[in-house]
């Protein structure tokens, strides 16, 4: 006796509509389960693992940075109309509190893709003139990028960030 | 595999497994063979017509004589031919005449954008917004005048202002007073400077460059032109050396600007792009139109 023949004649499970709806629910649940699995398995890892400890030290970090800050003015020049895969010069200018250019130990340009840490990249900036540093950057995807220019001086790091939008040609 | 062929005359290879599984000698389908021959013909045809096989340093040239570089050069020649009409027109016109012609102005702005990126943006910013140590080009504060003639002069022959270091000329108290006065002037659009500061400004020779009212203008000429030596306007709140304020003003007064004998002096030099041959007259004219239209042209 086959499976369908074992189901009583008056059972709702003999109706194709009931079976169809059950199939639909099972499909939806299966898709959800797949998406949940993919979300965990392919997470780009944008979350800090030690977020709680970092949060506890936030105030202290800010105060100690403020105490050590050399009162520099750091200004970045990122072209407004960025295009995908088109190299552009990114510059940063550093002056002290009297407006004289200063040279730190190192300057690095970082580009973060908010939706995918796998696309993040960084470029060391080279000295073009006193207090003026430059890097040639090309963004591989259209959309939003978070840029950060980090200036290293001794043990300290100072940074400025800017959210940019990269368009199509 | 079987020792003997149990299916003779079947067009098989004689390879038999598991009693009846055998390998036949069927030819490939016709469509597949046609595809193969077409591919071979295509390779032969392509090789004859286009550069393909590497022989020494160069590939075989191909009957058509086509090359990627030639196509690029032809494309560029077409672009140049389209530009030539505008370039010829611009050649015989002044910057002011170009500005008065909407079509030519549009062409010149588009064309000069690349020139600006290559020659000016490193210091003055990608949008002419200026950077710490380098003047803004997108406002109406002009050190040497914002008319097309003055802008052309700045690009062609460069600019190099000068300010004497005052550390051995003024006392500490006088420097302090003048630095504070400069901040007061900047914050009040030139109307709130202390009397003591004004007295020092007028008696210590500052007016010789910054003008009687501190706005950097030595004389006004008909047609909106001004006489200036490039000294900063102290009355408009725009700081020549960012971040501005007391420390900046004091540093400039003490150390001066562009003093070869003083390594601590401010460095404020605009290269001479015309005299050094870095830019042609035509390119300078285009840049004049571009800079004039950045927002503050007079």
| A91·B239 Cβ contact <8 A | no
Note the pLDDT tens digit of each residue in A7-62. 787 788 888 899 999 999 999 999 999 999 998 888 766 666 777 887 877 777 77
| B251·A100 Cβ contact <8 A | yes
Q: Which two tokens stand for residue B176?
A: 């302090």
- Chain B nearest C-alpha distance from A113 (Å): 23
Same domain as A144, residue A102: yes
**Closest Cβ opposite residue B126 in set A77, A101, A128:** A77
| A75·B243 Cβ contact <8 A | no
Q: Which residues contact B170 (CB under 8 A, 6 or more apart)?
A: B178, B200, B204, B253
CA separation for the pair B230, B221 (Å, rounded):
16
Q: What is the pLDDT of residue B239?
A: 94
Q: Which of B116, B123, B126 to mutate to test the interface with A (most CBs of A within 10 A)?
A: B126
| A99·B242 Cβ contact <8 A | yes
Domain with A131 in it: what CATH number?
2.60.40.10
The verdict on A83 touching B (C-beta cutoff 8 Å) is no
**Closest Cβ opposite residue B241 in set A94, A99, A128:** A99
Q: Which two tokens stand for residue B71?
A: 């196509």
Q: What is the pLDDT of residue A46?
A: 63
The verdict on A76 touching B (C-beta cutoff 8 Å) is no
Count A/B contacts: CB-CB distance under 8 Å: 67
pLDDT tens for the 298 residues of chain B, in order: 546 778 888 888 888 888 889 899 999 999 999 999 999 999 999 999 999 998 888 889 899 999 999 999 999 999 999 999 999 999 999 999 999 999 999 999 999 999 999 999 999 999 999 999 999 999 988 999 889 999 999 999 999 989 999 999 999 999 999 999 999 999 999 888 999 999 999 999 999 999 999 999 999 888 777 899 999 999 999 999 999 999 999 999 999 999 999 999 999 999 999 999 999 999 999 999 999 999 777 7
| CATH number, span B172-269 | 1.10.760
Q: Flag whether A64 is in a domain.
A: no
Model ipTM value = 0.75
Number of residues that make up chain B: 298
Q: What is the pLDDT of residue A1?
A: 59
Same domain as A82, residue A31: no
**Closest Cβ opposite residue B243 in set A79, A97, A130:** A97
User: Annotation-wise, does B4 bind a ligand?
Assistant: no
Q: List chain B domain ranges.
A: 2-59, 172-269
Provide the mean pLDDT of chain A: 89
Q: Can you give the residue range of the structural domain that contains A125? A: 70-167
Same domain as A26, residue A79: no
CB A89 within 8 A of CB B122: yes
The number of distinct structural domains making up chain A is 2
- The C-alpha torsion from A4 through A7 and A13 to A17, rounded to 10°, is 40
**Closest Cβ opposite residue A98 in set B122, B129, B251:** B251
| B132·A101 Cβ contact <8 A | yes
Q: Which residues contact A146 (CB under 8 A, 6 or more apart)?
A: A111, A112, A113, A114, A161, A162, A163, A164
Q: What is the share, in percent, of chain B residues with pLDDT greater than 70?
A: 99
Q: Flag whether A16 is in a domain.
A: yes
CB B246 within 8 A of CB B183: yes
User: Annotation-wise, does B124 bind a ligand?
Assistant: yes
Q: Which residues contact B259 (CB under 8 A, 6 or more apart)?
A: B162, B163, B164, B165, B265
- Chain B nearest C-alpha distance from A86 (Å): 14
Q: What is the pLDDT of residue B174?
A: 96
CA separation for the pair B186, B193 (Å, rounded):
9
CA nearest B251 in A: which residue? A98
Same domain as A91, residue A32: no
| A91·B122 Cβ contact <8 A | yes
CB B242 within 8 A of CB B231: no
Report helix, strand or coil for A20: helix
């Amino acid at each position: 006796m086959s499976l369908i023949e074992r189901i009583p004649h008056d059972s709702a499970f003999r109706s194709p509509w009931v079976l169809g709806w059950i199939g639909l629910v099972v499909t939806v649940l299966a898709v959800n389960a797949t998406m949940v699995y993919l979300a965990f398995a392919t997470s780009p890892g944008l979350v800090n693992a030690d977020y709680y400890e970092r949060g506890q030290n936030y105030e202290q970090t800010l105060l100690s940075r403020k105490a050590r800050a050399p009162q520099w003015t750091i200004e970045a020049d990122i072209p407004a109309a960025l295009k995908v895969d088109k190299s552009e010069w990114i510059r940063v200018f550093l002056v002290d509190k009297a407006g004289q250019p200063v040279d730190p130990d190192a300057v690095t340009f970082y580009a973060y893709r908010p939706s995918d840490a796998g696309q993040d990249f960084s470029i060391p900036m080279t000295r073009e003139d006193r207090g003026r540093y430059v890097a040639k950057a090309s963004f591989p995807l259209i959309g939003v990028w978070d840029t950060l220019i980090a200036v290293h001086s001794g043990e300290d790091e100072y940074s400025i960030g800017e959210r940019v939008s990269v368009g199509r040609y | 595999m079987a020792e003997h062929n149990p299916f003779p005359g079947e067009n098989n290879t004689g390879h038999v497994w598991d009693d009846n599984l055998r390998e036949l000698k069927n030819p490939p389908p016709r469509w597949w063979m046609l595809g193969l021959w077409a591919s071979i013909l295509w390779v032969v045809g392509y090789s004859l017509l286009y550069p393909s096989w590497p022989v020494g340093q160069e590939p075989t040239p191909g009957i058509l004589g086509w090359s990627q570089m030639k196509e690029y050069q032809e494309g560029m020649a077409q672009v140049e031919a389209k530009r030539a009409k505008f370039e010829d027109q611009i050649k015989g016109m002044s910057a002011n005449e170009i500005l008065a012609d909407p079509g030519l102005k549009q062409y010149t702005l588009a064309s000069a954008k690349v020139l600006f990126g290559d020659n000016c943006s490193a210091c003055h910013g990608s949008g002419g917004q200026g950077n710490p140590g380098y003047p803004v080009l997108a406002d109406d504060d002009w050190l040497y005048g914002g008319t097309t003639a003055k802008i052309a002069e700045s690009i062609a022959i460069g600019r190099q202002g000068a300010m004497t270091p005052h550390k051995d000329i003024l006392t500490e108290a006088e420097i302090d007073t003048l630095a504070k006065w400069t901040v007061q002037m900047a914050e009040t659009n030139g109307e709130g400077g202390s009397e003591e500061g004004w007295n020092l400004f007028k008696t210590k020779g500052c007016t010789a460059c910054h003008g009687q009212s501190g706005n950097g203008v030595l004389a006004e000429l008909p047609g909106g032109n001004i006489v200036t030596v490039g000294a900063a306007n102290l009355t408009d709140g725009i700081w020549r050396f960012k971040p501005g304020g007391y420390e900046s003003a004091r540093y400039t007064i003490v150390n001066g600007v562009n003093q070869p004998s003083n390594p601590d002096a401010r460095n404020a030099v605009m290269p001479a792009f015309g005299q050094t041959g870095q830019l042609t007259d035509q390119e300078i004219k285009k840049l004049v139109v571009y800079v004039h239209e950045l927002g503050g042209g007079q």
